[in-house]
A and B are shown apart, each in its own frame.
Chain A
Amino acid sequence: MKINRLSPELKVGIVVLIGFIILFYMSFKISKFGILSEKGYELQVYLENANGIDPKSPVLIAGVEIGRVKKVKLDNFKALVTLIIKEGVQIPSDSTIAIKTQGVLGDKYLEIIPGNDKKILAKGEMIKNVKAAPDFDEMFSEVSTAAKKFGNTIGEFQGLLGDKEKTSIKKSIENIQTITVEFKDIIKENKQSINSMITNADDTLKGLKKIVNDVEAGKGSLGMLVKDDRLYMDAKETMGALKSISKDIEEGKGLLGKLVKDDSLYNDAKDTVKNLKDLTDGIKKGDGTLGKLAKDESLYIETEKAMKKLQKGADGLSEMTPISILGTIFSFIF
């Protein structure tokens, strides 16, 4: 039988069969979990905000799909989400559930972070621990207030530093620079002598070591000094002489005696110290620019606050990245 003699019924039958095979193949491929999905057990969880969670949203543990969302409904102003978990996946009862974002399209999915409890969640039970998802609107407002406060702080700081202070700071830095340069030059010029100094010191130390060894052995005059008793007697006599000298000083005799006994020098020193103290007190009280810088804690606290907020904001922003990418996509397409 030639091919063009095939009856219309057979030809139609072949084409329809091809169609059905393709349809079944594609359906089977796509249904993933599909028909098998009913073979699982249900768990429930209350979410404060189930935005982006739809039926069929995946449920993952460690990035592996272990179930899907079956339905989402409102219950007592909270979202009651029913999950279907694959048979054979056991979830500890103290596990935590969190809403997470995946991919450039910002798809939401549920991630279960397993707990350590030996008790396993049974069919129909509730996952109680929910990790709050960041609310982007709230985060944005926080970031903006933080940024504003940070700006204010910087402004205050700028106000604190007048032109006068600025120039003096500048001058100081310049001075430091010159000193450093000069110091460098000195070192450069005297490199040779410094080197020889070090070498000499090295030699001296070696010599000293030798001497110490000799003394230990009782060699030479120093060794004798250490080892011989006669020196002690001499020293005792010297002490006696010294005693008489100190007695003279005590009585205010001679130049040394005056130095020790006269109060005026001491009083001068005392006044100097007092002046210094007044100066530091001023700084402590917060008078003058330096005092303010040292004493005003508000600047520090403000800065710290702003930094914390900024940190929070940055965390939020990093979570926002998928959405901004999506924005780019849209702006590209349209």
Chain B
Amino acid sequence: MINLFSLDRIYHPATSVLRQLGGMALMFFSSIFYAFRRPWKLNYIFKQMEFIGVKSLGVVLITGTFTGMVLAIQTYYGFRKFGAEGLVGATVALSMTRELGPVLTSLMVTGRAGSAIAAELGTMRVTEQIDALIVMALNPIKYLVTPRVIASFFMLPVLTIISDFVGIVGGWLVGVKLLGINEGAFINKMIKYVDLEDIYDGLIKSACFGIILSVVACYKGFYTAGGAEGVGRSTTESVVIASVSILVADYILTSLMF
């Protein structure tokens, strides 16, 4: 029988992956646990919401709009071959609400806010600020991780719905105004084929992605070791792991939902 204690002490890629997975899950549950414990520091949460949500707005707007626009062009040249240009609107709207809105928004937020979280917490760790918090009897999880997880959980759906909307508007601009698709068909097919579930499921997905990216970034930053170099490494790792996990989780969630 394998001795789990000795397994824990050897460094091996396999055990390392398992250890990290467990650590992330623990961090997620404890952050949720502390979220329901007094005192509630609402202003910390709002600060993080501003940082993760409001400040990512520009990036999300640009990616959303251009994604919608390029989708319209691509599907237009495809659909035109059999005279179904009217379906471009429905295709753009469905792709944006179900898939591209949530995933691209989460990836952009991961790149912008996730990396920042990892770097910030990593720097706090290597400069022993986290140790100082513990010494001051402040729970670092409650103080640092919980606000970020909650903020991501709430702000990602908001960013996603904005991204969906500007994406559809971008698609409309390119499709109707530039390529001259019949506007009535564009709008009506969109309304016909897009259901409320498509939008809501996309938002649920993006909330899950928000939790994934914030937990991964917090974990990687929180357990940084090795000085400035370590901070750089955990920043990179947090972005890579969060992006990959988001795409994997996207498949799982989508197959569960639709």
Instruction: List, in ascending order, chain B residues with CB within 8 A of A15's CB.
Output: 53-54, 57, 155, 158, 162
Evaluate whether A30 and B194 lie within 8 angstroms (CB atoms) in the complex, with A9-B46, A16-B158, A22-B162 already known: yes
Which residue in B82, B158, B162 is a CB contact (below 8 Å) of A329?
Answer: B82
Which residue in A8, A30, A104 is a CB contact (below 8 Å) of B50?
Answer: A8
Is the C-beta of A328 less than 8 angstroms from some C-beta in chain B?
yes
Instruction: List, in ascending order, chain B residues with CB within 8 A of A30's CB.
Output: 191, 194-196, 199
Once the chains bind, are B46 and A12 in contact (CB under 8 Å)?
yes
Evaluate whether A11 and B50 lie within 8 angstroms (CB atoms) in the complex, with A16-B158, A30-B191 already known: yes
Instruction: List, in ascending order, chain A residues with CB within 8 A of B195's CB.
Output: 30, 56
Interface size class of chain B, counting residues whose CB lies under 8 Å from the partner chain: 20 to 34
CB-CB nearest in chain A for B194: A30
Chain B residues touching A, majority SS: helix
Rounded to whole angstroms, the CA-CA distance of A334 and B157 in the bound complex is 32
Rounded to whole angstroms, the CA-CA distance of A34 and B192 in the bound complex is 12
Query: Among residues 65 to 81 in chain B, which have CB atoms less than 8 Å away from a CB atom of chain A?
Result: 78, 81
CB-CB nearest in chain A for B84: A104
- CB of A215 to closest CB in B, whole Å: 80
Instruction: List, in ascending order, chain A residues with CB within 8 A of B99's CB.
Output: none
Once the chains bind, are B53 and A32 in contact (CB under 8 Å)?
no
Excluding A22-B162, A32-B191, 18 further A-B contacts by CB distance (< 8 Å) are A7-B46, A8-B43, A8-B46, A8-B47, A8-B49, A11-B54, A12-B46, A12-B50, A14-B54, A15-B158, A19-B157, A22-B165, A26-B164, A26-B199, A34-B196, A56-B195, A104-B84, A332-B81
28 contacts between A and B (CB under 8 A): A7-B46, A8-B43, A8-B46, A8-B54, A9-B43, A9-B46, A12-B46, A12-B54, A15-B54, A15-B57, A15-B155, A15-B158, A16-B53, A18-B158, A19-B159, A19-B161, A22-B161, A22-B165, A23-B161, A23-B203, A26-B161, A26-B165, A29-B191, A31-B196, A104-B84, A105-B87, A328-B82, A332-B82
- A residues touching B (Cβ–Cβ < 8 Å)? 7-9, 11-12, 14-16, 18-20, 22-23, 25-27, 29-32, 34, 56, 104-105, 325, 328-329, 332-333
